[in-house]
Structure 1
Amino acid sequence: MDWWIPMSKEKRKFIKQWLFSHKNFLVYIAFILCLWLIFGFAFNALEWMMYLILLVLIFSGLFLASWCVKDFLQYKKIKENPNWKELLQSEKAWTTSEQFLLETLEDYASQLAQTEFQQREAYKEQLDYYTMWIHQIKTSIASSQLLIQALPTLPEKSPLEQELIKITTYTDFVLHYVRMETFHQDLVLREHSLDSIIRQILKKFATFFIYKNLRLSYESIDQVIVTDAKWFSVILEQILLNSIKYTDKDGQISIYLDGAYLCIQDTGIGIATSDQQRIFERGFSGFNGRMNYHSSGLGLYLSNEIAKNLGLELSVESTVGEGTTLKILLQQDKLDTRV
């Protein structure tokens, strides 16, 4: 019944275009109106003929109005939920030109479906390749870890362990980056202890803290969150790796809860104000990444994309020379649960 609401710009535009495309029918109604006027006033026709023409005119007008309303409702339905297949099946051609147009659209829809299928197959092949490649790399990493563990305690042992952890993390990063295309197919939402997730990551990176003599400030966080533990861990790992990477020896990293925010704070080199608005962009490495370290600019981008899909929000506060605090808003009002 929203048709009877005072006309919007969209309705006026639709009616104008619809009347133009049905001008032949309008000419027919105009012809009937002319007959009514001519026979009624010029020739003083019989009363029954006048009523007959008037009835034809009224019914023609009602038919035209109902036709217009029906087309408008169909137009809104298609606009709100466009579906090529459903549209082409529901439409019937009334003229040769319309038939040609429908056939052209069917060909286009068929080509589009074929292209999408080929892209899905190509993506699947790419994902299978990276999965196989990562599996092979991890086998070599596991062998290297066993060899390093067998070594006596040497000054070189800790750096080797750190590099292996980095390789493992970066290898997983590649797989996560590729799988972002099918994120929701790999999503498993459950209740998890935030403290448990954090402690697992801290244990994984313990050797970095020891080697750089970094102080850790962390107290148990008694909070349960609904999330995918694997994807949430990817976010924390990328943030914590950045904090470790950009914090000098004898620095400090703090992890704490501030209201609805999980904060990871470091006493590192900080981020320039001009860079803070862009650190979540794909490929943006910033001044620090360009001048002092090798940076792909993908770590925080991936973290931010994952956070959006998990209903989280990342933000940063930083002062050059003092450190950086990266915050994760745990309020999951916009948790994306599409499958």
Structure 2
Amino acid sequence: MGLKLFIKEHFSFIIFELIIVIFILSLYWLDGFRNVDTAIYSITISIVLMTSFLGVRYYLRQSYLKKITHLPTTMEDALQKNAKTIEYMQTEQYLHELYRVYQHEVQTLYAIQNRQEKFLNQWIHQMKTPISVLELLLQEEGNLDKKSVQEEVDRLKKGLEMVLMNARLEKFEEDMQVEQVKLKEIVSATINENKRLFITNRVFPEMQIDETITITTDSKWLKFVIGQFITNAVKYTFEQNKRIIVSAIKNESNVQLLIKDEGIGIPKSDLIRVTKPFFTGENGRKTGESTGMGLYLANEICEKLGHKLEIDSEVGVGTTITLTF
């Protein structure tokens, strides 16, 4: 098989060499030099030299030709090094690099698929809780408790929003629209969307943001990020009548948004891992409602938008999240 491929590869070369020999002999013939023995000797020498050249060339390529004429059974077969010529060595190097790129893409896709599957399983498991509560409320006799129903509907809406944002994150660039926006408007809108959460937990928001402060960002994605911070701040503030202070500082080169709560705080051992996917930590186990994806998604979005996220916390005192634009 390898010899057959080699002959096909060099067939045009053999024909070209024969044409050159015939052309040279024709010149000698037309010039009056018509010695038949010399012509036969010249043809024989040419054939021997050409055959020797092709024989050595085939020997150097034999192992490589054998490799490419047999279908591989595993991807690792492409990593074998059989070439002995510069051209084929370069070809092998190209294939090895192609294999490396392929492996990187496969591992990336596998990681994304695995993360999506794990997140979806956790999300479905958590969405069972509000659905069960709604079923129980519907089974109760008497007037329907609309407040409780609304709370569970809000939990479902939050869960749907998170899973949709997680799905869109893979095609973030296609969905991004960067523009100049007023920071106070975005924060106010986010707080208003979570007003029932504040009322239910008896936690009070305070906003200290100048109306003139503008930032360059994507308002939709930023609202989701701030919403995650505010939701976490409320969720992990177990005592009533506590505050969540949202303020902004305008510096010469940037704008900083600070979200400070008076909640239970994050242990130092968990602080460096809170933005990892599916990490719930001690606080997540206390509530039993954490997917471990909120801060991960927020951190990913901040990186894609070019915003710097910093989290400082002290157990029993509270947490401060700083977002630098």
Q: TM-score range by the shorter chain?
A: 0.5 to 0.7
Kindly state the Cα deviation for residue 120 of structure 1 after the two structures are TM-superposed. Answer: 11
Aligned length: 214
1:256 and 2:256 equivalent? no
Mapped pair 1:281 → 2:276: yes
In the alignment, structure 1 residue 245 sits paired with structure 2 residue 235:
yes
Aligned residue type for 2:86:
E
Deviates more, 1:227-236 or 1:159-168: 159-168
List per-residue Cα deviations over 1:154-187 (Å, max 9, x = no partner): 7832232222222222222222223323222322
Task: Give the whole-Å Cα distance in 1 for the aligned partners of 2:106 and 2:271.
Answer: 39
Match of 2:89 among 95, 101, 107: 101
What secondary structure, in the 3-state scheme, does the structure 1 residue paired with 2:154 have? helix
- 1:220–1:275 distance in 2 versus 1, CA, 3 Å: same
Bigger relative contact order (CA 8 A; separation at least 6): 2
1:159 to 148, 164, 181: 148
In structure 2, the gaps of 5 or more residues are: 1-82, 117-129, 131-136, 138-142
Q: Amino acid of the residue matched to residue 163 of structure 2?
A: V
Give the letter aligned to residue 294 of structure 2. Answer: G
Q: CA deviation at 1:226?
A: 0.6
Paired AA for residue 232 in structure 2:
N
Select the residue among 301, 307, 331 that pairs with 2:302.
307
Work out the CA distance in 2 between the residues paired with 1:274 and 1:280.
13
The structure whose Rg is larger is 2
User: Deviation of residue 112 (structure 1)?
Assistant: 7.7
Q: CA deviation at 1:268?
A: 1.3
Q: Which moved more, 1:168-177 or 1:198-207?
A: 168-177
* Runs of 5+ unmatched residues, structure 1: 1-94, 128-140, 142-147, 149-153, 331-339
Q: Percent identity?
A: 27
Closer, same or farther: CA 299–120 of 1 in aligned 2, 3 Å: closer
Relative to 1, partners in 2 of residues 1:326 and 1:118: Cα closer, same or farther, differing over 3 Å? closer
Change in 2 beyond 3 A, CA 1:190/1:164: same
Q: CA RMSD in A?
A: 3.6
Distance 2:262 2:104 in 1: 48
The structure-2 alpha-carbon separation of the partners of 1:101 and 1:177, relative to structure 1 and needing over 3 Å to count, comes to same
Counterpart AA for 1:175: L
Confirm whether residue 323 of structure 1 aligns to residue 318 of structure 2: yes
The answer on 1:197 being equivalent to 2:192 is no
Change (3 A) 1:329 1:155: farther
SS state at 1:99 partner: helix
Q: CA deviation at 1:116?
A: 9.0
1:212 corresponds, among 201, 208, 212, to 201
Question: Which residue in the other structure is 2:261 paired with?
Answer: 266
Aligned mates of 2:316, 2:291 — CA distance in 1: 22
Residues 158 and 211, structure 1, Cα contact 8 Å, conserved in 2: no
Instruction: Give me the whole-angstrom Cα distance separating, in 1, the residues matched to 2:207 and 2:196.
Output: 17
Q: How many angstroms does 1:233 deviate by?
A: 1.2
SS in 1 for 2:85: helix
Partners of 2:84 and 2:236 in 1: CA distance: 69
Kept after mapping to 1: 8 A contact 2:208/2:248? no
> Shift of the alpha carbon at 1:114?
8.1
Question: For 1:180 and 1:173, how far apart are their aligned partners in 2?
Answer: 10
User: TM-score, normalised to structure 2's length?
Assistant: 0.56
